[in-house]
Structure 1
Amino acid sequence: MLRYTLMRFGIFVGCLLVVWCLVYSGLAPRGLGESNGLWVILLALVFSAPISFVVLRKQRDLASENIVRRVDRAKANLEANRSQEDDADDDARGTRAQGQAQEQAKAS
């Protein structure tokens, strides 16, 4: 996941540099007034998103598989803990019921 994030950030920084060069060389339009920095960042985001979507498809799929494995493992651990709690509760109830039956037998 970290690798995918760093690669995506790298693509954004590359696009940011390219857009900055294009804007300051006059090939791309400048922002209005003092908004030029924000304009450059927005253009870089617009260009980097589809590039990341296409170029990082394999890494995104691997990251997704890792997340699914972690979620499945967490679900399995939760289910194992639930069954342990249920078994302990059933044992405690069974022991208590046997004790009550023995007390009733002694009282009779």
Structure 2
Amino acid sequence: MLRYTLMRLGIFVGCLVVVWGLVYTGVVPRGLGSSNGMWVVLLSLVISAPISFVALRKERDRASVQVVQKVDRVKANLEANRSQEDGADDAARVQGQTS
């Protein structure tokens, strides 16, 4: 999961550098007034999103499998804890009835 996040951040930073260079050279227009920084960041975000979607497909699938496995483990642990509590509760009720 961390690998996917770092790869995605790398693509964004690469796009940020390229867009900043294009704005600095005048190929892409500057933002209005003092909004130039926000313009560069937003344009970089818009460009990096589809690139990440296509380029990181396999890594995203691997991260997804890891998340699903972790959720399944947590569910199994919760179910095991619930079964232990039910067993303890049933044993207490049986002992309460025999007293």
> Could you tell me the TM-score, scaled by structure 1's length?
0.89
1:51 partner amino acid: I
Quick check: which has more Rg, 1 or 2? 1
The unaligned stretches of length 5 or more in structure 1 are: 100-108
* Matched position secondary structure for 2:74: helix
Tell me which amino acid in the other structure corresponds to 1:23: V
Cα distance in 2 for partners of 1:19, 1:71 equals 39
- 1:90 — aligned with what? 90
Q: CA deviation at 1:6?
A: 0.5
Per-residue deviation at 1:33? 1.2
The equivalent of 2:75 in structure 1 is 75
Letter in 2 for 1:53: F
Instruction: Please report how far the alpha carbon of residue 29 of structure 1 lies from its aligned counterpart in structure 2 after TM superposition.
Output: 1.0
Show the 5 A alignment for 1:11-26: 11-26=11-26
Which letter maps to 1:55? A
Same amino acid, percent of matched pairs: 72
Instruction: State the shift of 1:17 in Å.
Output: 0.3
The match for 2:63 is 63
Cross-structure match for 2:8:
8
Residue 29 in structure 1 maps to residue 29 in structure 2: yes
Structure with bigger RCO (C-alpha 8 Å, 6+ apart): 2
Give the CA RMSD over aligned residues.
0.6
Which string of whole-angstrom CA distances, capped at 9 and with x for unpartnered residues, describes residues 44-97 of structure 1?
001000000000111111111111101100000000000001011111111111
Q: How many residues align?
A: 99
Query: Which aligned segments of 4 or more residues in structure 1 are displaced greater than 4 angstroms?
Result: none
Unpaired runs of 5+ residues, structure 2, are none
